[in-house]
Amino acid sequence: MGTGEVKVTKETPHMTMMTKIPSALLLLTCALCAQTPSATKSTAKSVKAATKSTAAAPQPVTIPKDAVANPNGSFSWTDKQGKKWLYSNTPFGVIKSADGDGADASSLAGVTAFDAGEKVRFEKPSPFGPISWVKSKTDLTSEERSLFDSQTATGKKKQE
């Protein structure tokens, strides 16, 4: 055979089967996918009826008009029952959460204070081991001061 010549071979039984099987599968798939128009319409009607019977979608959260803007970009608002709410803008919309006024007494639950001269060392157990931090005695908050005083007073009583 030279360049440009094409050799023609006789078709074998395997080659005819290789073309007949995919063709038959394609025809079967099309037949199964084809539905009568009445079946499609009844399914669509039942879907529409199901969506109408379910409860209406919740309204998106909006920031009240009388909310007060905070320096960090959030908004504070008090409802009629006196509960404080915090509204924040996120990429996914507005988030409404109960307003917590910073650290509460429960944030120092389980904390142990140790006197370290001019400083106080605090320790708190965690699932990954104890967490400790050191603060100067002059920089203690009122909660930290009361915790330190109560724990050092009980330590002195035990020594006596």
Amino acid at 138: T
Asked whether 76 and 84 are in contact (CB, 8 A), the reply is: yes
Considering the domain boundaries, does residue 155 fall inside one? no
Domain holding 87, by residue range, is 68-98
The total domain count for the chain is: 2
Residue 154 to residue 11: CA distance in whole angstroms: 100
Considering the domain boundaries, does residue 63 fall inside one? no
- What's the chain's average pLDDT? 78
Residue 36 to residue 31: CA distance in whole angstroms: 11
Asked whether 84 and 99 are in contact (CB, 8 A), the reply is: yes
Considering the domain boundaries, does residue 30 fall inside one? no
Residue 133 to residue 124: CA distance in whole angstroms: 9
Considering the domain boundaries, does residue 84 fall inside one? yes
In 91-138, beta strands by DSSP E: 93-98, 112-116, 119-124, 131-136
Considering the domain boundaries, does residue 8 fall inside one? no
Residue 134 has a pLDDT of 92
Amino acid at 135: K
pLDDT by residue (tens digit) across 93-107?
999 988 775 544 457
Considering the domain boundaries, does residue 19 fall inside one? no
Question: What does the pLDDT average to over 125-145?
Answer: 90
Question: Can you say whether the dihedral through the CA atoms of 65, 70, 74, 80 is positive or negative?
Answer: negative
Residue 37 has a pLDDT of 57
Considering the domain boundaries, does residue 28 fall inside one? no
pLDDT by residue (tens digit) across 72-92?
889 999 989 989 999 999 998
Considering the domain boundaries, does residue 78 fall inside one? yes
Cβ neighbour number for residue 120 with a 10 Å cutoff = 22
